[in-house]
Amino acid sequence: MTTTWTAARVLRDRNSGLCLTSVVISGFGTSALWLASGVWVKDLTGSDGLAALCLLAMWAPTLAGPLLGTLADRFRRRPLLITASLLMAGLLLTLCAVDSPRGLWLLYAVLFVYGAAGVVHDAAESALIATAVDRSLLGDFNGLRTTVGEGTKLLAPLAGAGLYAAYGGAGVAVLDSATFLLATVVYAFLRVREDRPEPPRGGRRERTVEGARFLWAHPVLRPLVLAGGASMLCAGLSGALVYAVVDALGHSPAYAGVLYAVQGAGSVLVGLLSGPALRRLGERRFAAYGIALLAVAVALRAVPDDPLAWACSAAIGAGLPAVLIATLTAVQHETPGPLLGRVTGTANTLVYTPNVLGLAAGAALVELLDHRLLLAALGCALTATAATLLTHRPNPTPA
């Protein structure tokens, strides 16, 4: 009842509802393009390696999160989001000219800019949400954001695949361009008062490092971000082992899709419960309990049993987003407005980059070691991470 009430409060609040709508619209277009771009390159070239480069082009700019986050602090966030959305809407339409392998350079260039704009967008959106949404609703909002994001990930790739089959890659590019235009309209209707940022002080390097320095010195944010990065590293390693788990269950590789769907259901559930849980437990304990649940689920995946595999997938889907929701909410609560773009960009880099590294390491290790041994080791590592977070007692933040 409490969960339903707080979720309804978020949806009834005008700014919260509009921000959530923009998240759905943007996420739908991005998920559709993410799938279609790889298929597009594969059809044009027949190369798996060139198709995989699409994901790399979109992901690589996240490494520059601390630098790109400075843009979100240089300008007012709502006009910046509107400008970036209009820029991407126009840029995506240039992909209609890609009809042969000779045009792949344009596709990769647009995807790279797409990724860079996404980093700026995430930092500016997080800062804008912290201003536009009531502080007491931030946990609920971030939870619902996870819920609708997981729902979008289930539907958007199907829509993108269908549109690609009917109209090719250009059709998906037009769809994504339209979602950016719709997001622009949503941002325009937000009622939020933003002060003009102060003129920048110091050099570019000093301004970039300022967010990282604040994050590292903060007694609440540093352990949360480190725990989030460690959890995502282990999650990447575990994700690379999913086909070995499916093989041990005696199913075809397509069965992994079933496990991912169950995992998505777990993420939807924890998104609905996160607001009340954050108010009751606080960010640190909520994150620690989520990591502990993740540790148990990852370790038990070593047991070849179908019902247990389903339960573990649901638990992974519930446990991993808990630390991400807690970390983002804490960043929004604890960071001063003028620094929020840089701190968010830095935190996103530190939390999400290890996931890709984990996927790469897991793909190599699964060929060398028994997946059951790896899963047990990951469970122990996650348990240690949860214990460290639970036993950490932050000192008061200095004035």
Q: Write down the pLDDT at residue 267.
A: 87
pLDDT at 384: 95
pLDDT tens digits, 184-218? 999 888 887 777 766 666 666 777 788 888 888 89
Q: How confident is the model at residue 359 (pLDDT cuts 50, 70, 90)?
A: confident
Q: How many CA atoms lie within 13 A of 164 on its CB side?
A: 22
Report the pLDDT value the prediction gives residue 151, as an integer from 0 to 100. Answer: 73
CA angle 14, 278, 269 (to 5 degrees): 75
pLDDT band at 399; cut points 50, 70, 90: very low
Six token digits for residue 193: 């008062």
Rounded to an integer, what distance in angstroms lies between the CA atom of residue 205 and that of residue 168? 43
State residue 197's pLDDT score: 67
What is the longest distance spanned by two Cα atoms in the chain? 62
pLDDT of residue 47: 77
Task: Report pTM.
Answer: 0.82
pLDDT band at 100 (very low <50, low <70, confident <90, very high): confident
386 or 48: which leads in pLDDT: 386
Average pLDDT over residues 89-107: 90
Distance between CA atoms of residues 324 and 143, nearest Å: 10
Is pLDDT of 396 > 60? no
| Whole-number Å distance between alpha carbons of 119 and 66 | 9
Separation CA 170–CA 163 (nearest Å): 9
Q: pLDDT tens-digit profile of 262-304?
A: 888 888 888 888 888 888 898 999 999 999 999 999 999 999 9
pLDDT for 326 beyond 90: yes
Residue 66 DSSP one-character state: H
Alpha-carbon gap, residue 272 to 9, rounded angstroms: 12
- C-alpha–C-alpha distance, residues 320 and 318, integer Å: 6
Residues 151, 154, 155, CA angle at the centre, nearest 5°? Answer: 90
In the three-class reduction of DSSP (H, G, I as helix; E, B as strand; rest coil), residue 194 is classed as: coil
Mean pLDDT of the chain: 84
Q: What is the pLDDT of residue 385?
A: 95
The answer to whether residue 394 scores a pLDDT higher than 70 is: no
Angle at 164 between CA 161 and CA 168, to 5 degrees: 165
SS3 254: coil
- Reduced 3-state DSSP string for 110-127: HHHHHHHHHHHHHHHHHH
Among 110-119, 151-160, 176-185, 341-350, the least confident range: 151-160
Q: What is the pLDDT of residue 148?
A: 80
Q: For 111-127, write each residue's pLDDT tens digit.
A: 999 989 988 988 888 88
Residues of the chain above pLDDT 90, percent = 29
